[in-house]
Every structure is written in structure tokens, then in C-alpha cells.
Chain A
Amino acid sequence: QLTTMRVALQLLFLLGVASIPGSVFPQRTQSQIKVREYLSENPEIGPWLDGLGMFDVYGSIWFTAIYVLLMVSLIGCIIPRTRVHAKALFMPPPASPKHLNKFSNYHAFNVKALDLKIIESVLRNEKYRVRLEHDHVAGEKGYLRETGNLLFHIALLFILIAVAVGSLFGYRGQIIVREGVGMTNVLAQYDTFAPGALFNTDWLEPFQVELQQLEVDFQLAGDTPGQALDFRAYLKHSEADGEEIESVIGVNSPLDIGNASMFLLGHGYAPVFEIKDASGNVIFNDSVIFLPQNGNFLSTGVIKVPDMDPQYGFDGIFAPTAAINDEGNFESIYPDVVDPIIFLAAFKGDLGLDEGVPQNVFQLNTEELEQVGMKTLSLGDTWEFEDGSIRFKRIDRFATFNIASDPGQNLALIAALLAIIGVTLSLYVQRSRVWVRYVSAPEGYVVEIAMISRHEDQDLESALVHITSECKRALGVEESTQENNDGNQ
């Protein structure tokens, strides 16, 4: 028993220490990009650390090994204790030892006449479970302490199970949706997608979402002008049955659709462009996602126009409220749209889109291209270049959503709440045993009372004093009667 507790303690320590590197090194589960950066900045030790699993600590073999061992020792502890406790719950408290005066919490007093039934009811009134014998009464209370302790440890086990279920059968992914554009919940729509090891893509909840409007409140005046106060996405979604429902997702209020939940993470601008070719045909008329680079939403984006002849690509910088800073650079001084300006650099040549190699939509590979020119456009402006024209038509917004499904989360929540209840009971409920026995004396009897606690209970002595005076009162003994504290006869 002792050895298993020692092992459990060591494993607990180990688990704590083992989780440290995950907060020091970048983790694949959080940011692939940061891990790649780290590896390229530290070519010497990077791969070595990678081999040790330092970039995926919480999924590594050694981390898993520690918590599996902890689980095993937890089970090894819970089973025998549950058995013992279950037995104790259905058995009367243990009988009194022969000599009570060896206990350190011990009182005794003299009475002329005595009925143990009276003592029994005193103990019952004090919420003790009672056992009546011919020469003594035994009582025990505080069984909830052990019940709570077991509940806590069992709940911990279930939390581990819930986490495992979630990470094996769940998924999470991110999508970016522009205003006025819909998305279907299929794999191809995700910008990033991280499925659990046993996740089957058939389980993706079939639904469609259209982002109707994204609303952002900026603080206009005061101490931190421009701080985003709040933002929300107005959606129209339809589930498998095709019924359309309007809904709103706020920053802390997700939308649950079937087994999936949709969370609003961030937002940005998606300027709308109309591009015409040399003969005036509209060949592009759409919004383009510009990713924000700083708190004032200076944003960068790329427009690719493969339908033009020759193909065209634009590198753009967008500022919702533009200004020229001291160094003569273009920047944004406020995150809301007050004085929007877009700066475009146009390139022509083969964009390489036809080669079948997947390309990053946020990057324009300009090496093979010929730069045509640069231009700054205000809202509504048109830039005419030799092969056509581009007009900065309107400004839409986009929203970033997390879509996740975690089949273990309800279990985790319930288990966590039970764990809190359990640990509270096991630390606050005091468990104690009391024995009241009598010994014949020259004039009547000596009543001996002793109490023990299986844990440190500072209030044991005052509880004993209380029980003693209740017994005296019930037996009609004057409080002033001489107290016989060492009780030796």
C-alpha cells in the first residue's frame, strides 16, 4: 500500500515535470509554423529535440507512458479502497477496545445509574452510526469523507478517459469565411484541419453556413481608441434537413450545430475588386481576404487573375485608415474604415496555377513574373494598366472560425464537477469514531468516552468535550461532578 502511494507520488511529480517542455518549445498542435521556424533557426539541436518529441510533448510516448502508469496506479488504488469502503458502509462501526484510557482523547465521569440506550440516542442525535453492545456503545461518522475521496479519484480517471475520447474521435479546424459567401462543412473548405487519430471524415456534420454580416464595435474615443470592443457574426445556416436558421456567433458565445461547434476567433477585411481585360469584359468580381498584420489592421493580400491574358497577379497592402508615417511609409492608424487606401503592385506572367502544385492563396511567387507597376487606390478608384483595369469597389469583412467536435467534452465537464465535489468532501468532512463504555465502580459506574480520528482533526478534542457534556446531560449528571480525567482505577 505504502509502496503504491510512493509510486503514485513520484508519477505525479514526473507528470508535472514532463509537462514543462511543452510550455517552453513551440508545439505542433498549436503552431506548425513556429515549429518550422524553430527548426530552421536551430539546425543543430532542433532535429535532436524533435526526436525526443519536444515539439509534440503531450502526444509523445513518454508523456503518454507517464499518464497511463498514473491511471494504472490510480485504478490499483481505487479498487481495493472501494471494496473496503463499501463494506464499511454496510457494517456497524467496530466494537470498543478493552481499554479506552490509552487514547489521548479520553474523558471519564461517575454516575449512579446508567442506561446505554440513552447514550445510544445521544450519539444518534450527533449523527453517529451506532452499535450497541452489552457494556458499551460504539459510533462512527463522516463516511462521506472516504466517499468523497473515492469520488474524486474515480472522477480523475474519467477526466483522463474523456480527454482520450476527445482526442481520438474529435477534430478541430479553422476556416475563413467572407461576408456574403457560404461554406459547406466538408474537408476541402478548411484552411487547417486536425482530426483525431480515429476520426472518420464521414462524421463531419453536414451543414452549410453563410456569413451575412460581420459587425465590429470599435471604441471611438477615450483612452484606448480603436480597441475592438466586441465583434459578432450574423449567420444563416442550414442543417441536413435543409431548414435555414438565422443565428449570431459572438466572441464568447459559440454556435452548436449537431456534434460540431463553431467559434468566432477573429476578423479582418476583404476588399472587393472588379477587374476587366483590355476589351472591357469583367473577368474578376469578388472579395479578397487581406490578413491583418497589426492591431490597426494594416493587412496584406494577394489577387490572382489567371483568366487574364497574360496572367496577372497583384500584391496588395490595405489600410482601413491610411497615413504616411515619419519614415515615409504607408501605415494604418486606426482599425476601423475611415480613410481606406489600398496599395497594389501588379505583376504579369505565368502564375504557375496550372501545374497542379497546390499554392498558398496568400502568397504570390513573383520570381518568374514581370512587375508592371504600382498604384495607390482609394475606395472607388480605378487603375488602368496596359492589359486591363482594376477597380477598388467595396470593402467587405471576413471572419475566422474554429469548428470543432469533441465527443468527450460533456463527460469531462461532469467528471470535473464531481472531482471538485469529491475533493471538497474529502477535505472538509471529519471522520471520527467514538466509544462510550462503562465500568462498575464502588458507587455506581465510571463512564469512559474516547474518540479517534483517522486523519488529523484539530477539533477532535472539542467534539469530545461536546459529546461528554451531552452524555452527562442525558444521564442527569451535574456538570460540576468531579471529572476523572485519567480514569485509572
Chain B
Amino acid sequence: MAINRTLAEYSNTFVYMSMFVLALSLFIFAYAFSQTRDETKVASRKSGNIAMSLTWLSALLLLIGVVLRGLSAGRAPWGNMYEYSLTGTLLALIVFLVYSLKRDIRWLGLFVVIPALLSLGLAITVLYSESAQLIPALKSYWLIIHVFAAIVSGGLFTLGASVSGLQIVASHVEKRIESGQEPGRLGFIASRIPDSNTLDLFAYRIHAFVFPLWTFTVVAGAIWARSAWGRYWGWDPKETWAFITWVGYAAYMHARITIGWKGNKAAVIALVAFATFIFNYFLVNIFFVGLHSYAGVS
């Protein structure tokens, strides 16, 4: 099947439009954030709502961009890092937006839009590649399932890391206030987000939601590896780092549930685990050679 160039170009246009709208929403979220958290202030509430609407619009544009990209190549739109980044960002946005229907999480908007824009920015500059067909080893249902689960996990890990990061900020400021000190520079942020216990619980919910999904991702990858390379686990760098990420989040769950390390210690583990995920995505994909870069004869 040939690549439909026109659709691929439309896809790019929609991605750019989505980024433009997302950048607007970033500014307005930042403005809303700079207003006090006092919900009676109309300016803050209104601008928060406008920013949310823009984020919806940007997610819609991105969705169209991703769908067109898939149509242009006649396959699922996750065949290379550019496409992973688009789809992952889209899913993170969708989870944030859908969750916002249930609870007021406008305070989180800024900290979702920033990583989303960063991710899209990297995608269109460093990671960009033309719409293309896949090499033979990548044509497999298991791979489609595996990659999709990995992308969803990635989007949710990012949300979780955002909340865990904010939790550390909040608890840092709370400790200062408790010991009678001034809130300090971070007080600006801390006064505009929920308290650290609420954030802790929120982060835990996100992480508890993705952990089974990430477990599934690794297992689906192993099933695919079995049919493509004849072994389900071979400690290829990609596999090794997926395992390390899994162990990292398992450590977080244990620290949180069984030892009862609430607060900062657990949040730090979550951030370390997230760092291993990002490391796997960017550095291992690009610099380490493994079977994941498929050659004629190994």
C-alpha cells in the first residue's frame, strides 16, 4: 500500500494547529494560575474555563492529526517515535480532560499542558519522520497492542509524575510553614494547588491505575518478542529498561501501600521510576543498539 502524501500533509497541519491552540491555553492557564486560588475571583475562574476549552479544542485537533496520520499509511498511527509522541500526548490530554469532567482539576492544567507542549515540540523537531510503512518485524497484532498500551502508560506516567512533583513542592512548603518559616519562593505554587495529602492520594490513584497496564505492556511485548525473535525475554536494552521501570513503580506501590511511606519518599520513588521510563523512551531508543533496530541478519 502506498503512502497518501496529501493526508500526511493534512495531518501535519492539524498537529501544528493543535500546538498553536495548546500554546494559547498555556498562556491562559498561566494567567489563571497567577491569580489567587480564591475561586470567588471571577477573573481566575473565567480564564481557567477558557484555558480548559482551548485544551479541549487542541486535543480535538490533535486527534484529527493522529487519525489522518494513521490513514495516510493505512495502519495504526504508532510506527515510529514521532507517532508515539503524538498519540501519547493526545492520550494524556484526553485523560486529563475526561477526569476534569468529574473533578475540578483546573489547577493541574498548567502542569499537563507544559509537558504536552514539550512532547509535541520534540516530536515535530527532533523526532519527526515522514509517514512510512513498517519493516516486516513490526507487522504484528501483538506489537500494535503492546505499543498502544505503552503509549497510554506513558501518558499516564507523565500525569502521575506531574502530580508527584507538585506534591513534593506542596509538602516542602507545608513543612516550612509548620516550622514557622516563611513559605519561600515555592509558596507561590503551593498556595495554588491542593495540599500535599490530597496530591499524594491523587498521584497514588494515577499510579495504581497504570501499574497493571504497564505490567500488561511488558507481557504483551514479551509475547510479540517470542513470535518475532524466538524468545520472550532476552535482556535487550529496551526490555531491560522496561523491566527497570516496572520494578521502579512496584517499589513505589510497596513503599506506599505496605510500608506506609506517604508523602515525599514515595513521590521521589515515583519520579525516579518515571525517569527510567523517559530514559528508555529517548535515550535507549536512540543510542543503544538492540534487536529493536531490526537488521537483515543478526
Contact = CB atoms under 8 A, between A and B. Distances in A.
Interface in B197-221: 201, 204-205, 208-209, 211-212, 215-216, 219
Nearest to A261: B230
B201 A23 contact: no
B95 interface: no
A39 interface: no
Interface string B102-136: 00000000000000000000000000001111011
A413 B223 contact: yes
A57 B5 CA distance: 46
A23 B297 contact: no
B240 A19 contact: yes
B296 interface: yes
Contact of B201 (A251, A267, A456): A456
A33 to B, nearest CB: 11
Interface string B244-259: 1001101100110111
A19 B244 contact: yes
A9 B227 contact: no
Nearest to A228: B136
Contacts of A223: 3, 130-132
A403 B226 CA distance: 12
A10 to B, nearest CB: 9
A297 interface: yes
B10 interface: no
A221 B2 contact: yes
A23 B136 contact: no
B231 A172 contact: yes
A222 to B, nearest CB: 5
Interface in A432-462: 455-456, 458
Given A30-B234, A417-B219, A420-B216, A12 B250 contact: yes
A240 interface: no
Interface residues of A, number: 64
Interface string A285-303: 0000001100101000000
Interface residues of B, number: 58
Contacts of B259: 2, 5-6, 9
B284 interface: yes
Contacts of A230: 136, 139
Contacts of A419: 215, 219
Interface stretch (A126-134, A373-381, A404-412): A404-412
Given A6-B259, A263-B229, A409-B226, A231 B132 contact: no
Nearest to A15: B247
Contacts of B236: 30
A452 to B, nearest CB: 16
A222 B2 contact: yes
B187 interface: no
Given A5-B254, A427-B211, A400 B297 contact: yes
A252 interface: yes
SS of A interface (majority) = mixed
Question: In terms of DSSP, what is the predominant structure of the interface of chain B?
Answer: helix
A478 to B, nearest CB: 31
Contacts of A22: 235, 240
B137 interface: yes
A27 interface: yes
Contacts of B250: 12
B295 interface: yes
Contact of B244 (A20, A174, A263, A427): A20
Nearest to B241: A23
B227 A291 contact: no
B36 interface: no
B139 A58 contact: no
A20 B235 CA distance: 10
Contacts of A267: 296-297
A5 B259 CA distance: 7
Interface in A267-292: 267-268, 291-292
Given A163-B233, A253-B227, A420-B212, A222 B3 contact: yes
B60 interface: no
Contacts of A227: 132-133, 135
B237 interface: yes
Contact of A251 (B2, B139, B211): B139
B237 A402 contact: no
Nearest to B269: A13
A16 B219 CA distance: 17
Contact of A458 (B140, B201, B212): B201
A144 to B, nearest CB: 14
A458 B231 CA distance: 42
Contacts of B276: 16
Contacts of A172: 230-231
Interface in A46-76: 57-58
A268 B296 CA distance: 8
B136 A423 contact: no
Interface string A384-415: 00000000000000001011101001001100
Going nearest first, the 10 A-B pairs with the smallest beta carbon separation are A263-B230, A402-B230, A266-B297, A16-B247, A23-B237, A251-B136, A252-B140, A23-B240, A424-B212, A416-B219
22 contacts: A2-B259, A9-B251, A9-B255, A9-B259, A12-B247, A12-B254, A23-B284, A27-B235, A30-B236, A57-B235, A227-B132, A229-B133, A251-B228, A263-B227, A266-B296, A268-B297, A291-B297, A402-B229, A403-B230, A406-B232, A416-B219, A423-B215
Given A409-B232, A413-B232, 15 more contacts: A12-B254, A23-B284, A23-B288, A27-B235, A29-B234, A222-B2, A251-B228, A252-B224, A268-B296, A404-B231, A419-B219, A423-B211, A423-B215, A427-B211, A458-B201
Interface of B: 2-3, 130-133, 135-137, 139-140, 142-143, 201, 204-205, 208-209, 211-212, 215-216, 219, 222-224, 226-237, 240-241, 243-244, 247-248, 250-251, 254-255, 257-259, 276, 284, 288, 295-298
